[in-house]
Structure 1
Amino acid sequence: MAIGGDSTLLRDGVVYLAAAVAIVPLFHRLKLGTVLGYLVAGMIIGPHLLGLVTDPEATLAFAEFGVVMLLFVIGLELRPKRLWDLRYDIFGLGSAQVLLCGFAITGALLLTTEFTWQAALVIGLALALSSTALDVQILRDQGKINTPLGTRIISIHLMQDLAIVPLLIVTTALSRTPTPDAPEGWEIVWKSFVAIGALVLAGRFLVTPLFRLIAQTGTREVFVIGALLMVVGSAFLMASFGLSMALGAFIAGVMLADSPYRHEVEADIDPFRGLLLGLFFMAVGMTLDLSIILSEPARILLYVIILLGVKFTVIAVLARLFGSNWRDSALTGVHLAQGGEFAFVVLTAAESGLLLASEASSLFAAAVTVSMALTPLMIAGVDRLAERESDDHDVDGPEKAENAPAILVGYGRFGQTVNQLLAARGIPVTLIDRKPGQIELSGRFGQKVYYGDGTRLDVLRIAGAEEARLLIYCNDGQQMTNETLAAVRRTFPNLKVLIRAFDRRHVIQLVNADCETVVREVHESAVLMGRAALKAAEVDEKTIDAIEAEYRERDSERLALQVASGDLRAGLDLTYGTYPLPANEGLGEIPQIDDDDIVPDRSTV
């Protein structure tokens, strides 16, 4: 069978693949990140250097579906309830970030350039948005996407994606050449609500039955086609209303997050996402016109400094005000300091509306691209500063640890007890904690603890997770999630994983997790305290044992109901209620006692 005479597409495909294979692994080996490798590969093969590919805009238009699929996968990981739990970060921190960064960049441009206030405002708001594709890929590479830091950063990105609609409305309103056919601002708003409402309804009532029908056929390729239809269809619906395709895919993903087919859909989409996202970064690198940078290096440097400096400062301060520590605040700032892909859309609209000259638009586009290229380096620099801070405290990283059969993450009071029991059996343990103060204190007592974030795959690999048999999470809070655990299990299938759960909610979240044991951190100690209280009230030992057994049975039954429904109020009738108890709420044959029967016992337990 003969192949058509035009082999340009095949040749370009070979160029893209060869450049990626040659350059990306090198950057990964140098620990500079795969994203920067894709950007540099695109610069090299693009029209401004070797000229092996001459039409980066066409590639970029196609590769934007990588961003669409990325947002779809993120949506799959955020169930509607979890999304509601993030409303504080999305609408509070996210809105503050967009507005304050936009106004701060506008002020900086008015002070340092001769732009009109209309042009400065549009540019400032456009540059306030960051690159979701770039940032999320970096978070994925570092294993941080499901950490509290990663969740907060993604929440801000979601608000930025929502902000593109009002931003386009502002750009249209300030345009000096409004076209008669241009839609009114309120028209765009109601269309947005219509499109989002249609996606929500389709996801709620159509998608799950559709996938159930496809699954019944037992045909794998049809399931893949259905997943792609879900992504492309949601993107097309939003694009037809002039809205963000990525936002539409994200909403579709959220609607599918509670579906039993979520994991299979994610597995089918992931290969396409990875390929198209890499192509997207290469296309961004190809658009970087080095001649513009060389002709106006001072202006571009000024724009890059304003962009990165203002956004980093504002975002870091905001993150601190919203409860992050200074380290995470700095990381949040550096992750979100770059310009984003939506800036290209807004700059084009501003140029069409005569708010911005073509040359200025090109300079800002170059500044955005440079900021994206610098982001992996800046993040690596901040990470190294954090490591240097650890070095200043005379702490070592897990690379200095000898491989042990067990890795314990979080060496606080809980972790110390677990380590004592393992040590009593002679089982060597590699101890990891991310608090230099705790590591120092442990060292004074002769215990070697290594500095690192044990939820990160690279840290676990360095600590010897590929050879270990046990991975024990004793860190406090809710740092471990289903998604993080799934990534750990995929990467290190040989490990048995034990997790300290923060509370009942955390247990419910981890119920589908593939781990050996989930332990509620205060449950057993609370039961012991309850036994001590009953003993102090002079309840006999046999009755105390019966009460404990009854309580444990009811608690297990209630937890099973909560897990099955996801509702904390499930099984409420199994609890004993508030004091005083109704007559029928006792423990059957176990008698209740009156207040007068309680005798104070001042002994400590």
Structure 2
Amino acid sequence: MAGELGGQGFHDALVILGAAGVVIPAFARIRISPVIGFILVGATIGPAGLGALAGDHPWLASITITDRERIEPFAEIGILMLLFGIGLELSFRRLWAMRGKVFGLGGLQMMVTGFLLGLGLLFGLGLSAPAAAILGLALAMSSTALVMPLAGTASTTGQIALAILLLQDLSLVPLLLVLDAKSSPDALLQVLLGGILVIGALLLIGRFLLWRLFAQAARTKSPELFLAISLLVVMLASLATGSVGLGAVLGALIAGLLIAETDYHAEVEVITAPLRGLALGIFLITVGMRLDLAEVLAVWPQLIVATALVLIVKALVIFSLLRWRKNRRGTAVETGLLMASPSELTLIVLASALAAGVVSASTAAFWTLVTAFGLTLTPLLAAAGRRMARRVDPQALASGVSDTSGVTLIFGFGRVGRIVADMMAEHGRPYFAVDGDIDCVASAREQGYKVIFGDVARGDAVERFGLCDSAALVLTMDDPVLTVRLSREVRAACPDLTVVARARDGQHAAQLYKAGATDAVPETMEGSLQISEAVLVDIGVAMGPVIASIHEKRSQLRAQIREAGQLAEEPALGRRR
């Protein structure tokens, strides 16, 4: 059957999808990053794991992958989709505002880290000067594919990491050009000129044609058409930049930036999210396949020492640069540990250096192993960084949010969020608001509201905003799925926290109660009650009895909704009255 439907490629796709179906829910249940799960699965089912036994045990062939090269193209698509997702969360305005960090902080990090690592390789291992320089710069890179999903782009740490990673991604182009035996100043000039023309053409197309395509898709109300157009834009932009030597990843980033400037970026982000997550999982599985247990055991002392030295040098350099630039100690610690491991781009540079004869096969194999091992440690380093940041800088969260102990947090700052903030201020209660619309945040801050920019849908909101220490959480976003998910996550982590959520209707309110919300307020119900109150007063009924009856009716309706959500008697909600 597999042969009829595409042979080994179809088989590999089934294995990967099956692995994703097991890893994501299993590791989510035990509250461990699925990143580690994907890497471990890759090491287990890959050609260096159970795949090596498939010849002697044919039944293993159905659940293993025996040739890593076959799924490498899918891993590259995963990286493209990741850069596309980053572009969706940015905009040209935000990117322009980050130019100082990208070329200043990012450039310093690459030069200082590459220089120090290169010196160690030159004098410590006796590599040639060209090999030490190239390998030092390659190891100075950090993993965009792992760091950004862990950090997001809303926190201070995530914004700093993004600036450094953008410079590293851009630096891949000149590095590969240097390694190309045929490269020359003329070739570099040709790439630059071609890049300017291609990027200019993409910007013009995005400015005048892209919104028309998505407008037509919106009229059809077809999610499939949205997805198809999004993938088409990513692939065409990646092919265009790749054809002139700039690299396909830059094209994917530009595609995301172009769509981010349209009114349809939120819809595209939601529709493409599952595909981006799956593509990233495939990439992580290929990283795991590079971990050959036999090779690791043969060189484990050298592997541990080399990995530790790379991690220490990178973490100290990033920490020092951030402190020099007056960043908080906690932010510097978290960012340094988060970005200490090598990158998937390191593997690309190593392969090119081996092909160009700059490094030997044994050197390339060893540092490939170091890179894969370091990538496996990234989620652990990120978690350690968050914990250490809170210890060394307890007065501020690494996300840039001040201490939220005793403060009411408001997620979403549209019309509903503003009214809640006004009422909190009226009664002298401290609050802090978070919203993902930068224009809304800027406008609100100008008017004196305490609000910051942040995407609560990404990362661990409980840790980023210190929810368990806050007085209450108010969810006012007009996103029913996200509101239910946050209610469930917050209740699991903070059983005693008061969570009040905005609901679209009674059915949505019942879902929120089931997810753990203390109170869910349906807009339709409140609107009906206010209309009833206004009508009764206007036709001459006394205000006192009207208000009493409205309160009684509200309590009755909430009781019915709780019963529908089957939560009336569940003590695990931890509701505070």
TM-score, normalising length: structure 1 = 0.65
The Cα RMSD (Å) is 4.1
Aligned to 1:150: 158
Distance 2:291 2:298 in 1: 13
Aligned to 2:139: 127
Structure 1 pair 187–217 and aligned structure 2 pair: CA distance change class (3 A): same
- Structure 1 residue 495 corresponds to structure 2 residue 501: yes
Structure 1: gaps of 5 or more residues = 173-177, 394-400, 410-414, 433-452, 473-481, 498-515, 517-605
Aligned to 1:562: none
Within 5 Å, give how 1:303-322 maps onto structure 2: 303-322=306-325
Aligned to 1:162: 170
Note the C-alpha offset of 1:104: 1.3
Note the C-alpha offset of 1:290: 2.4
Are the aligned partners of 1:64 and 1:280 in contact in 2 as well (CA < 8 Å)?
Answer: yes
Structure 1 pair 220–22 and aligned structure 2 pair: CA distance change class (3 A): closer
- Structure 1 residue 113 corresponds to structure 2 residue 116: no
Distance 2:190 2:292 in 1: 37
Structure 1 pair 489–31 and aligned structure 2 pair: CA distance change class (3 A): closer
Aligned to 1:532: none
Note the C-alpha offset of 1:340: 0.9
Aligned pair partner of 2:231 in 207, 228, 249: 228
Q: Match for 2:89: what amino acid?
A: E
Are the aligned partners of 1:89 and 1:156 in contact in 2 as well (CA < 8 Å)?
Answer: yes
Structure 1 pair 390–248 and aligned structure 2 pair: CA distance change class (3 A): closer
Aligned to 2:40: 40
Distance 1:21 1:369 in 2: 23
Distance 1:308 1:341 in 2: 15
Structure 1 pair 305–406 and aligned structure 2 pair: CA distance change class (3 A): closer
Distance 2:372 2:165 in 1: 18
SS for the counterpart of 1:243 is coil
SS for the counterpart of 1:162 is helix
Distance 1:259 1:235 in 2: 19
Distance 2:304 2:468 in 1: 43
Q: Which digits, 9 at most, give the CA deviation of each residue in 1:334-377, with x for residues without a partner? A: 12111111111211111111111111101111111111111111
Q: Which digits, 9 at most, give the CA deviation of each residue in 1:168-196, with x for residues without a partner? A: 23333xxxxx3499972322332332332
- Structure 1 residue 242 corresponds to structure 2 residue 245: yes
Q: Which digits, 9 at most, give the CA deviation of each residue in 1:495-541, with x for residues without a partner? A: 259xxxxxxxxxxxxxxxxxx9xxxxxxxxxxxxxxxxxxxxxxxxx
Note the C-alpha offset of 1:423: 8.3
Aligned to 1:94: 106
Note the C-alpha offset of 1:121: 0.3
Q: Match for 1:164: what amino acid?
A: L
Are the aligned partners of 1:465 and 1:495 in contact in 2 as well (CA < 8 Å)?
Answer: no
Distance 2:8 2:96 in 1: 48
Within 5 Å, give how 1:16-31 maps onto structure 2: 16-31=16-31
Aligned to 2:474: 470
Distance 1:99 1:454 in 2: 32
Distance 1:218 1:29 in 2: 34
Distance 1:3 1:345 in 2: 32
Are the aligned partners of 1:407 and 1:465 in contact in 2 as well (CA < 8 Å)?
Answer: no
SS for the counterpart of 1:184 is helix
Distance 2:478 2:83 in 1: 16
Aligned pair partner of 2:380 in 372, 377, 380: 377
Q: Which has the higher Rg, Structure 1 or Structure 2?
A: 1
Aligned pair partner of 1:355 in 351, 355, 358: 358
Q: Which moved more, 1:460-469 or 1:196-205?
A: 460-469
Distance 1:454 1:71 in 2: 17
Q: Match for 1:115: what amino acid?
A: L
Percent of aligned positions that are identical: 32
Structure 1 pair 466–49 and aligned structure 2 pair: CA distance change class (3 A): farther
Q: Which digits, 9 at most, give the CA deviation of each residue in 1:466-517, with x for residues without a partner? A: 9967369xxxxxxxxx9999967873496259xxxxxxxxxxxxxxxxxx9x
Aligned pair partner of 1:279 in 271, 277, 282: 282
Structure 2: gaps of 5 or more residues = 52-63, 397-403, 412-419, 434-453, 488-498, 504-521, 523-577
Q: Match for 1:19: what amino acid?
A: A
Distance 2:86 2:173 in 1: 20
Distance 2:484 2:304 in 1: 44
SS for the counterpart of 1:470 is strand
SS for the counterpart of 1:495 is strand
Q: Which moved more, 1:36-45 or 1:202-211?
A: 202-211
- Structure 1 residue 251 corresponds to structure 2 residue 261: no
Are the aligned partners of 1:131 and 1:336 in contact in 2 as well (CA < 8 Å)?
Answer: yes
Q: Which moved more, 1:264-273 or 1:458-467?
A: 458-467
Note the C-alpha offset of 1:34: 1.7
Aligned to 2:265: 262
Q: Which digits, 9 at most, give the CA deviation of each residue in 1:121-162, with x for residues without a partner? A: 01111111111011112124xxxx311221111111111111
Note the C-alpha offset of 1:18: 3.2
Note the C-alpha offset of 1:7: 4.9
SS for the counterpart of 2:237 is helix
- Structure 1 residue 82 corresponds to structure 2 residue 94: yes
Q: Match for 1:495: what amino acid?
A: A
SS for the counterpart of 1:337 is coil
- Structure 1 residue 457 corresponds to structure 2 residue 452: no
Aligned to 1:566: none
SS for the counterpart of 2:281 is helix
Aligned to 1:72: 84
Structure 1 pair 489–8 and aligned structure 2 pair: CA distance change class (3 A): same
Distance 1:5 1:23 in 2: 25
Distance 1:214 1:228 in 2: 13
Within 5 Å, give how 1:376-395 maps onto structure 2: 376-388=379-391
Are the aligned partners of 1:32 and 1:380 in contact in 2 as well (CA < 8 Å)?
Answer: no
Q: Match for 1:251: what amino acid?
A: I
Aligned to 2:75: 63
Distance 1:322 1:486 in 2: 40
Note the C-alpha offset of 1:6: 5.7
Are the aligned partners of 1:90 and 1:159 in contact in 2 as well (CA < 8 Å)?
Answer: yes
Distance 1:485 1:104 in 2: 50
Note the C-alpha offset of 1:420: 8.8
Note the C-alpha offset of 1:95: 1.0
Are the aligned partners of 1:227 and 1:268 in contact in 2 as well (CA < 8 Å)?
Answer: no
Structure 1 pair 70–231 and aligned structure 2 pair: CA distance change class (3 A): same
- Structure 1 residue 103 corresponds to structure 2 residue 115: yes
Q: Which digits, 9 at most, give the CA deviation of each residue in 1:568-599, with x for residues without a partner? A: xxxxxxxxxxxxxxxxxxxxxxxxxxxxxxxx
Structure 1 pair 2–157 and aligned structure 2 pair: CA distance change class (3 A): closer
Are the aligned partners of 2:333 and 2:388 in contact in 1 as well (CA < 8 Å)?
Answer: no
TM-score, normalising length: structure 2 = 0.68
Aligned to 1:297: 300
Are the aligned partners of 1:165 and 1:189 in contact in 2 as well (CA < 8 Å)?
Answer: no
Q: Match for 1:330: what amino acid?
A: V
Distance 2:191 2:424 in 1: 59
Distance 1:2 1:329 in 2: 51
Distance 2:161 2:46 in 1: 31
Q: Match for 1:62: what amino acid?
A: F
Note the C-alpha offset of 1:303: 2.6
Aligned to 2:196: 193
Are the aligned partners of 1:454 and 1:460 in contact in 2 as well (CA < 8 Å)?
Answer: no
